[in-house]
C-alpha cells in the first residue's frame, strides 16, 4: 500500500492520529478529499486501513474517532519457561526459506517462482469467477471438490504403465498445500515412534513434518540419480520401516531424478517389505530438460502414496494439492486430514480447477519451463564465471534449485551470514540433512530472484568464499 | 451444474462419449452450438467439465477426443492390513457433523449456518477485490497478513479489562480455521503424553485434535454455567496438566456460558498452577441474548491462548481465524504452524479483512444475531410441542446448537438411525464426551436446516423417541 495514493494518505493520517488526543474526531471524508487532493475512494481505503490497524474506530452515522491508547505494562512471561520446558531441538523456529529478508536483497533462499513466471491472468480470472460461484459461500466435502479430485486422479493416471489400472476420483484427496499432507501421511502410515526411511539430503519440510509427528528417521544417502536400491532394501529390512519418503523426480535440494531402473528396483523393495513409497512429486510442473514420469504409474496395489501440488506452478495464493492413495491407507489419511483441517476452502479449489482446465494451462507450462531453463542456465553461468570455488554438484533437469558444494572446511553458516550482510540471501545446506551434513553445501534457488542480479550475487558469493577460506 | 444448460449438455455429451469408441473426435463447438441450441460459452463450459472429469481430452488446434477407457484389474490391497496395523480407536473415520446426507433431509447435525444467514454480498465483493489485488499472486508471511493480525489483536483487545495491556499485532497469528490451530496449540503447549484438562462434554473437534497429538485428556464435568472452579483446580493440581482447553462463551454442545465469577476463579487456578487456558471463542460472532466477554481480556501475562474464527460468521469458504498468544508460547506456536501449513492463502486473508472492515460488517452481525434467535426459538418451540419427551438441557444464549437429553435408558444411536431413515439428521451426543457419556444426549443444530421443516423434524424425533421407549 505504500506506493499508491491511499498509502501516502495513510502515512499522513497516521501521524495526525499520533498527535491527536484519544477520542478526537477525524475530519469528514469530504474534508479529507479537499485537504489531500485525493478521491473519495482513496479516503475510504485509507480510513479502512487505519480501522484495521486499530488506530481509529468508525461509529456509523457519527464519524471516525481516534482510539484511546492504552499504557502498556511490562508483562510477566517468565512463568512460561517452566510451563513449556526446554526448547524443542527440531522445531527451533522458522526455517531459512520461511524467513523474510530486506526487499532489496537478492533472494536465492526462497522456494517459490517469481510472479512473472506464473499465470497471473489465468489466476485472477479464475478467482473472479470463483467469487461469483457456489464455492464462495459453500462448505466443501472433506475429500475435496469432486471435479478437482477427478482432475488430480487423471493427472496421476496419465503416467499409468500398460496393465496398471489408473487411480479414480475416489483415490484423490484435495489438500491445502503439501506440508500438512506430509504430516497426515507420516502420522497415518508410520505413526509416532515408527521408522520412516528417507533420502539424505532431502526436503526440510519433510524433516519438519517427521519431527512433528514423532516418526524415527532412517536416512539413506541419495544423489542426482537417486539412492542405491540395495541400500534402500537393507534399510527397509533392518529398520522395520513402514514407509519410504522420497522425491524421485527433481529432488529438493539436489535437482536429481531417479533413473527408470532405480525406480523399479526401489518399488520392488517396497513391495517385498510390504510397505509404502511416499512419492512427493512437488516439482511435477517444474520440469526443465525432461518430462516427469512419476512412479505412481507403476502401481495399482496401493503401495505408492502420491503427492502433487499446484502452489508452485499456479500461484502461492492457491494452496491446493492432492494426495493420491488407495485402500484403507486412503481412508485413514482422509480421516486424519478431516481431523486436521476439516476441508479446503472451496474458492481455492474452484479457482485451481478453473486454471488447470483452461486452454491457457498447457501454454503456461511451456512458458514456465522455458523461463526456468533460462534462469537455471544464467545462474549456473554466473557462478562458473564469478565463483569458481563453488562446485555445482549437479546440473538439475527440473525443479528450482542449485545445490552448491563449498570448498572442504568452509562453514556454510558463516558464508550465508556474510553474504546476507551484502544483501545476497542463500540457505545453508545443513537444513536439508536428517543427520550431520556430509559436506559444506548451500542451496540457491534460481526461480525467485531478480535475474539481472545473478552476476552480482555470484560475485558476492565468490568473494565471501575466498574471504572465509583466507580467514581459516 | 445440473440445474443449468451447461449441466444438461454435459449429461447429453456424457452418454454420447460412453457410446463412442475411444479416440473418437467430438463434433466441433460450432456443430454442438447448432445441435443443442446453446451458446458457445455453454459448449465451452460443458467440454471443460468433461475434460476435468477425464472423459475427453483437448488437443489444441486439432479438436476434442474421447479417451481410451482402461480395463480395471482387481487390485491387491490386503497387504495394507499388515502395514497399517489395527484400526486406531480414536480416529475411526469421519465424525457425524462431517458426513453428508441426502440433500432433501432436514440437516440438524451440521455446525455451519445456513448461507442465508451469511453476508454473501460482502463475501463475493471481497473475493472479487482480492482477485485483483496483490494477495492473488503473492506468498504470505507465516504469521499472516499484518493488517488482519492487527484486526484480530484489536478484537481481542476490545475486551481488555482496566489495567490489562491489550495484545498487539505481533501476538496474533492467522490460521486457516481453528481445527489445525487446536492441533498446534495442544502439541506445543502440552505435547504427546502430557496432560490436558478439558470440559466434558466439549467440542468433538478438540477431542480429535487431542487424539491426533497424543495428549492425555483429564476431563472435568461442565454444564450451562461452566465447570466448578474447585474441580478444575484439583484436576490441574493432581494431573500436572500444562493447559486447560475450554469454551467459556457459548460452549459446543451445551450453549452454556461461564459466569464472570467462574471465569475469574478458573483463571486464578490456571495462574496458580503456572499453566495455560486455551480459550476457544469459536462462537464469538454467534451471540444471541448476551454479548461475549472473553477471558483473554483479563490476561496480559500470556496465560490465555485465545482462538477466534470467521469461518462460521463470514463464509465456510473463508476459512480464516487467529490464535492470540504471547511470549515464548506464541513463538513456538508460530513455528509449529509454519511447519504444519507454511502459511494461509493470501486471497482468503485479504478477503476476510475486507469483509470485517466494511461498514456492512456490524450490520451483518446484528442480522445474524436476530436470525439465530428466531431459529433457536422456533426449534425450541417445535420440540416442546411435538417432542415433549425430549428435555432441552439448557436454553442457549449463543452458538448454534441445542443439547437435548433423551429419556433415561434410550439409546441415542438408535434414535439417530431411525430419524435418519425418515430424513431427519441428528448427532448422537456421545461424540462430545471424552469419556463415557453421562446420559443419553442428542445435539441439534438450529442454524443450518430449513426453518420451515423444524416442526416436521420435531414430530419425527418425538415419534421415534416414543417408539424406541416402547421397544425396550
Q: Indicate yes or no: CB of A187 within 8 angstroms of CB of B163.
A: no
pLDDT score, position B290: 93
pLDDT score, position A386: 97
Strand-by-strand arrangement of the A195-200 sheet: A172-175, A321-324, A304-309, A276-280, A243-246, A195-200, A216-223, A226-227
Q: Indicate yes or no: CB of B328 within 8 angstroms of CB of A84.
A: yes
Give the C-alpha separation, A351 to A355, whole Å.
6
Q: Are strands A304-309 and A321-324 parallel, antiparallel or unpaired?
A: antiparallel
Q: How many other β-carbons are positioned within 10 Å of the β-carbon of residue A94?
A: 17
Residue A318 in grid coordinates: 492457491
Q: Report the interhelical angle of B146-157 vs A40-52 (nearest 10°).
A: 60
Q: Indicate yes or no: CB of A91 within 8 angstroms of CB of B332.
A: yes
Quick check: bond before A144 cis, omega within 30? no
Cβ–Cβ under 8 Å, residues B267 and B295: yes
Residue B341 in grid coordinates: 501449513
pLDDT tens per residue across all 472 residues of chain B:
445 788 888 888 888 887 777 778 888 888 999 988 899 989 988 888 888 777 888 887 788 888 765 556 677 888 888 888 777 665 555 666 666 667 789 999 977 899 999 999 999 999 999 999 999 998 899 999 999 999 999 999 998 888 899 999 999 999 998 999 999 999 999 998 999 999 999 999 999 899 888 899 999 999 889 999 999 999 999 999 999 999 999 999 999 999 999 999 999 999 999 999 999 999 999 999 999 999 999 999 999 999 999 999 999 999 999 999 999 999 999 999 988 888 999 999 999 999 999 999 999 999 999 999 999 999 999 999 999 999 997 899 999 999 999 999 999 999 999 999 999 999 999 999 998 899 999 999 999 999 999 999 999 999 999 999 887 6
The enclosing H or E element of B459 equals helix B454-471
Q: How many CB pairs below 8 A link A and B?
A: 306
pLDDT score, position B2: 42
How far is C-alpha A396 from the geometric centre of its chain's CA atoms? 19
Least confident range of A172-181, A426-435, A455-464, B21-30: B21-30
Cβ–Cβ under 8 Å, residues B39 and B83: no
Q: Indicate yes or no: CB of A326 within 8 angstroms of CB of B77.
A: yes
Least confident range of A91-100, A186-195, A351-360, B408-417: A91-100
Residue B160's alpha-carbon distances to A55, A122, B153, B155, in angstroms, are: 16, 45, 11, 10
* pTM (2 d.p.): 0.84
A contact residues 127-146, partner B, Cβ 8 Å cutoff:
127-128, 130-132, 135-142
Q: Is the pLDDT of residue A167 over 50?
A: yes
Q: Are strands B424-425 and B106-107 parallel, antiparallel or unpaired?
A: parallel
Give the C-alpha separation, A176 to A179, whole Å.
8
pLDDT score, position B334: 94
Helix (H, G, I), strand (E, B) or coil at A402: strand
pLDDT score, position B68: 64
Which of B249, B257, B336, B251 has its CA nearest to residue B296?
A: B249
Beta bridge partners of B174: B322
Which of B77, B137, B362 is nearest residue A327 as measured by Cβ atoms? B77
Cβ–Cβ under 8 Å, residues B385 and B455: yes
Per-residue pLDDT tens digits for A136-165 = 998 899 999 999 999 999 999 998 888 899
Give the C-alpha separation, B468 to A435, whole Å.
61
Q: Is the pLDDT of residue A101 over 90?
A: no
Range list of H helices, B215-320: 229-239, 260-272
Mean pLDDT within A252-257: 92
B contact residues 225-264, partner A, Cβ 8 Å cutoff:
242
Cβ–Cβ under 8 Å, residues B349 and B310: no
Q: Indicate yes or no: CB of B137 within 8 angstroms of CB of A115.
A: yes
Give the C-alpha separation, A142 to A136, whole Å.
16
Chain B residues near residue A300 by CB distance under 8 angstroms: 73, 75
Where does residue A7 rank: exposed (0-12), middle (13-18), buried (19+ CB within 10 A)? Answer: middle
Which of A50, A10, A61 has its CA nearest to residue B359?
A: A61
Cβ–Cβ under 8 Å, residues B223 and B203: no
Beta bridge partners of B416: none
pLDDT score, position B70: 54
Cell numbers 520440469 correspond to what residue? A287
Least confident range of A95-109, A182-196, B266-280: A95-109
Contacts of B63 (CB under 8 A, 6+ apart): B25, B26, B28
How far is C-alpha A258 from the geometric centre of its chain's CA atoms? 22
How far apart are the CA of B283 and the nearest CA of chain A, in angstroms? 17
Question: Which one-letter DSSP state was computed for residue B316?
Answer: T
How far apart are the CA of B315 and the nearest CA of chain A, in angstroms? 6
B contact residues 261-290, partner A, Cβ 8 Å cutoff:
274-276
Any B CB within 8 A of A212 CB: yes
What is the interface pTM, i.e. ipTM, of the complex?
0.82
Per-residue pLDDT tens digits for A359-393 = 999 999 999 999 999 999 999 999 999 999 999 97
**Torsion over CA: B256, B257, B261, B267 (sign):** positive
Cβ–Cβ under 8 Å, residues B327 and B189: no
Q: Are strands A401-405 and B172-175 parallel, antiparallel or unpaired?
A: unpaired
Nearest chain B residue to A214, by CA: B192
Burial code of A201-233, b = ≥16 C-beta within 10 A, e = fewer? Answer: bbbbbbbbbbbbbbbebbbbebebebbbbeebb
Q: Indicate yes or no: CB of A339 within 8 angstroms of CB of B180.
A: no
Give the C-alpha separation, A311 to A322, whole Å.
11
Beta bridge partners of B468: none
The enclosing H or E element of A404 equals strand A401-405
How far apart are the CA of A408 and the nearest CA of chain B, in angstroms? 31
Whole-angstrom Cα Rg for chain B: 25
Give the C-alpha separation, B196 to B190, whole Å.
7
Contacts of B187 (CB under 8 A, 6+ apart): A212, B213, B336
How far apart are the CA of A51 and the nearest CA of chain B, in angstroms? 7
Nearest chain A residue to B57, by CA: A357
pLDDT score, position A24: 85
Q: Is the pLDDT of residue A92 over 70?
A: no
Give the C-alpha separation, B219 to A155, whole Å.
47
Chain B residues near residue A346 by CB distance under 8 angstroms: 316-317
Residue A30 in grid coordinates: 469530504
Which of A408, A407, A383, A410 has its CA nearest to residue A468?
A: A410
Residue B85 in grid coordinates: 496395523
Q: Indicate yes or no: CB of B88 within 8 angstroms of CB of A332.
A: yes
Where does residue A351 rank: exposed (0-12), middle (13-18), buried (19+ CB within 10 A)? Answer: buried
How far is C-alpha A181 from the geometric centre of its chain's CA atoms? 12
Backbone angles phi, psi at B232, to 5 degrees: -60, -45
Amino acid at each position: 500500500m505504500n506506493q499508491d495514493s491511499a498509502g501516502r494518505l495513510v502515512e499522513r493520517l497516521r501521524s495526525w492520529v499520533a498527535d491527536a488526543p484519544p477520542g478526537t474526531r477525524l475530519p469528514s471524508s469530504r474534508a479529507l478529499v479537499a485537504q489531500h487532493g485525493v478521491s473519495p475512494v482513496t479516503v475510504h481505503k485509507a480510513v479502512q486501513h487505519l480501522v484495521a490497524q486499530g488506530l481509529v474506530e468508525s461509529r456509523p452515522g457519527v464519524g471516525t474517532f481516534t482510539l484511546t491508547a492504552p499504557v502498556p505494562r511490562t508483562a510477566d512471561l517468565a512463568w512460561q519457561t517452566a510451563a513449556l520446558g526446554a526448547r524443542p531441538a527440531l522445531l527451533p523456529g522458522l526455517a531459512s526459506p520461511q524467513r523474510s529478508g530486506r526487499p532489496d536483497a537478492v533472494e536465492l533462499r526462497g522456494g517459490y517462482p517469481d510472479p512473472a513466471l506464473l499465470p497471473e491472468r489465468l489466476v485472477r480470472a479464475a478467482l473472479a469467477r470463483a467469487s461469483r460461484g457456489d464455492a464462495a459461500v459453500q462448505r466443501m466435502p472433506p475429500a475435496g471438490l469432486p471435479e478437482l479430485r477427478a482432475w488430480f486422479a487423471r493427472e496421476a493416471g496419465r503416467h499409468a504403465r500398460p496393465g496398471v489400472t489408473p487411480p479414480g476420483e475416489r483415490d484423490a484427496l484435495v489438500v491445502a498445500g503439501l506440508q500438512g499432507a506430509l504430516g497426515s501421511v507420516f502420522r497415518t502410515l508410520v505413526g509416532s515412534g515408527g521408522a520412516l526411511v528417507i533420502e539424505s539430503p532431502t526436503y526440510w519440510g519433510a524433516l519438519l513434518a517427521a519431527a512433528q509427528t514423532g516418526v524415527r528417521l532412517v536416512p539413506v544417502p541419495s544423489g542426482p540419480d537417486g539412492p542405491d536400491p540395495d541400500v534402500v532394501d537393507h534399510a527397509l529390512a533392518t529398520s522395520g520401516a513402514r514407509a519410504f519418503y522420497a522425491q524421485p523426480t527433481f529432488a529438493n535440494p539436489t535437482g536429481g531424478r531417479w533413473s527408470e531402473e532405480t525406480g523399479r528396483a526401489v518399488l520392488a523393495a517396497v513391495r517385498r517389505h510390504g510397505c509404502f513409497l511416499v512419492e512427493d512429486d512437488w516439482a511435477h510442473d517444474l520440469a526443465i530438460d525432461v518430462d516427469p514420469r512419476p512412479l505412481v504409474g507403476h502401481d495399482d496395489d496401493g503401495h505408492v502414496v502420491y503427492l502433487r501440488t499446484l502452489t508452485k506452478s499456479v500461484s502461492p495464493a492457491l494452496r491446493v494439492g492432492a494426495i493420491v492413495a488407495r485402500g484403507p491407507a486412503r481412508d485413514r489419511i482422509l480421516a486424519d486430514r478431516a481431523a486436521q483441517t476439516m476441508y479446503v476452502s472451496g474458492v481455492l479449489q474452484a479457482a485451481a480447477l478453473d486454471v488447470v482446465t483452461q486452454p491457457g494451462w498447457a501454454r503456461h507450462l511451456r512458458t514456465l519451463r522455458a523461463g526456468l531453463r533460462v534462469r537455471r542456465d544464467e545462474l549456473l553461468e554466473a557462478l562458473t564465471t564469478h565463483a569458481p570455488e563453488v562446485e555445482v554438484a549437479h546440473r538439475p533437469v527440473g525443479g528450482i534449485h542449485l545445490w552448491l558444494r563449498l570448498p572442504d572446511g568452509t562453514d556454510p553458516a558463516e558464508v550465508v551470514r556474510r553474504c546476507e550482510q551484502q544483501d545476497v540471501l542463500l540457505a545453508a545446506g545443513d537444513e536439508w540433512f536428517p543427520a550431520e551434513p556430509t559436506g559444506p553445501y548451500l542451496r540457491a534457488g534460481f526461480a525467485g530472484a531478480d535475474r539481472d542480479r545473478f552476476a552480482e550475487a555470484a560475485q558476492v558469493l565468490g568473494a565471501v568464499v575466498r574471504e572465509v577460506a583466507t580467514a581459516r
